[in-house]
Amino acid sequence: MAQLTRAMGRLALLFALLFLPAVPALAQSLTLNNLVVDNQAGSFMARFGVLVDGVPEVAYNLDNGVVLGLTCDARLSRKRSMWADKTVGEVQWVSRLQQDSLTGEYVLVLPGRETPFREKDLQKLLTRAWSNISVDLGSWSNLERGEDYVLDLSIKLNQVDIPNWFKRTLFFWSWDVVPATSYQLEFRY
């Protein structure tokens, strides 16, 4: 029984060493840039850019085979005084980032775009791809004139493609390479 326990412990350590090369750096951060909400062809759009501080640490993770995802969770709610805010639109937007080990290029895939961005310079790639992000939060007709609204936006850079059984086993581990950052924009329509 003791040998089985030691063998399982060694197996768990082996999996941890193979699948966990990403180490979050506390100096890294994501910054939202130029947040704008507008009506584009009848849709309520949130447009913004994301700046990554700590690109060398992100490159280190990518160079070690980690697949990352910039995850943006956006929720548009109508503010109410006596009741909880009413959600008007909600979406999760994920952009995948990895390194192509054959070419040495970084590859970034944006949702809704067929061809990925490819670049050897990670900073240049991130600036080109994430400087103008658009997120569709539903029909503009869902908004009522004279009402107050709030846009909640949370962005993080985290590891993707981690098996659920592994996440449950290491429930104490943070899969975020860059910690989540939240923003809130209140406006009246």
Nearest-10 crossing angle of helices 122-130, 55-63: 110
- pLDDT confidence of residue 121: 93
- pLDDT confidence of residue 32: 85
- Are 36 and 47 spatial neighbours (Cβ–Cβ below 8 Å)? yes
Ordered per-residue pLDDT tens for the chain, 189 residues = 555 455 444 544 334 434 444 444 344 678 888 888 989 899 999 999 999 888 888 898 889 888 999 999 999 999 888 888 888 899 999 999 999 988 989 999 999 888 999 999 999 999 999 999 999 999 988 888 999 999 999 999 887 765 555 445 555 545 456 677 888 988 888
Residue the block writes with tokens 């909400």: 37
Q: Which two tokens stand for residue 166?
A: 């592994």
Sheet containing 68-78: give its strands across: 117-119, 106-109, 86-99, 68-78, 148-159, 176-188
DSSP conformational letter for 91: E
Q: How many CB atoms lie within 10 A of CB 169?
A: 13
Q: How many CB atoms lie within 10 A of CB 45?
A: 16
CA dist 78 and 84 (Å) reads 9
- pLDDT confidence of residue 34: 87
The runs of H, that is alpha helices, within 53-94 are 55-63
| H or E, element range at 128 | helix 122-130
- pLDDT confidence of residue 159: 78
- pLDDT confidence of residue 13: 38
- pLDDT confidence of residue 20: 44
- pLDDT confidence of residue 55: 87
- pLDDT confidence of residue 27: 45
CA-closest candidate to residue 37, choices 87, 75, 63, 66: 75
Residues 6+ apart with CB under 8 A from 9: none
